[in-house]
Amino acid sequence: MKNHILLSGLLLLSVVFVGNVAAQHDESSKAVAGGGVLVKGWTGEIDAKEKADGMTLNSAKLAKEGKGMRVTTGPAVTYWDAKKTAKGDYTVGATFTEAKYMSINDHPHPYGIMVGGNDLGTANASYLYCAAYGNGSFIFRGFGPAPFQLGGRAPIKNDAVNKAAGVGQPVTQIIAVTVKGDSISCSINNKIVATHTRSEVVGAGKLKSTDGHYGLRFGHNTDATVTDFKKSKTQ
């Protein structure tokens, strides 16, 4: 009888623990006050799931800040300048800074560079992005138009990715995506963390092309500044 009671108690604790973990990682998106795209020439699109939950592009915010931009989300969103595209061999990079790590979320969320954007703003949109988390991990993923992963579903730990000293502390990542010949790679803080062949990235259910718009990708409920955003020729 005692063993039965003990076992029942342990099972109940397990259910509560699993439920709490699930709740922590099911954080809902919180609309940003005064949101919208406030940088001339830029536009964006939130994820389909966010739209289904009632969010809009104005639920996130892209604004000028100093010589750079500041993104505050809201829903997960992809931003791009409608007049800027990249073709052939190129590198697109920027510096991302969370002034206060996890300031508006309860677990780390990613931000990074988007390339190969085609049919953006439509149901057929395809693009690739590499994004970092302030806990020392990164993801290399895309939409084609359904989501696809490079390197697996879970974020990948890598020593090149900077870690915040703690919640509310600053953390900075230099992120770049490079297209060169048959390879597409992501570097974080000037170290290549992943490289894939064109055949792994372009094709049915993946990218339409590595040529296309480039821009920014932010997870939901994230606040960071973007500086030195630029496209350059691949060396």
Give the HSE-up count for residue 127: Cα atoms under 13 Å, Cβ half-sphere. Answer: 30
pLDDT higher than 80, residue 17: no
pLDDT in the model for residue 4? 46
Looking at the predicted structure, is the pLDDT value of residue 23 above 70?
no
Q: pLDDT value at position 234?
A: 79
Mean per-residue pLDDT of the chain: 90
Confidence check: pLDDT of 185 > 70: yes
The answer to pTM > 0.85 is yes
Distance CA(30)–CA(222), nearest Å, equals 10
Question: Per residue, what are the HEC states of the chain?
Answer: CHHHHHHHHHHHHHHHHHHHHHHHCCCCCCCCCCCEECCCCEEEEECHHHHHCCCCHHHCEEEEECCEEEEEECCCEEEEEEEEEECCCEEEEEEEEECCCCCCCCCCCCEEEEEEEECCCCCCCEEEEEEECCECEEEEEEECCCEEEECCCCCEECCCCCECCCCCCCEEEEEEEEEECCEEEEEECCEEEEEEEHHHHECCCCECCCCEEEEEEECCCEEEEEEEEEEECCC
pLDDT tens across 76-113, in order? Answer: 999 999 999 999 999 999 999 999 999 999 999 999 99
Residue in this structure with the two tokens 């800040």, named with its chain if needed:
65
What's the pLDDT at 152?
87
- Domain locations in the chain as residue ranges: 30-232
Q: Checking DSSP bridges between strand 77-86 and strand 212-218, what pairing results, if any?
A: antiparallel
Can you name the CATH fold of 30-232? Answer: Jelly Rolls (2.60.120)
Position 174 scores a pLDDT of 98
Residue 12: what are its φ and ψ, rounded to 5°?
-65, -40
Confidence class of residue 26 from pLDDT cuts 50, 70 and 90?
low
Residue 134 and residue 109 in contact, taking contact as beta carbons nearer than 8 Å: no
Of the candidates 108, 209, 124, the one whose C-alpha atom is nearest the C-alpha of residue 161 is 108
pLDDT in tens, 190-234: 999 999 999 999 999 999 999 999 999 999 999 999 999 999 987
Token pair belonging to 66: 């100093």
Q: Is the pLDDT of residue 161 over 50?
A: yes
**Residue 10: φ, ψ to 5°:** -65, -40
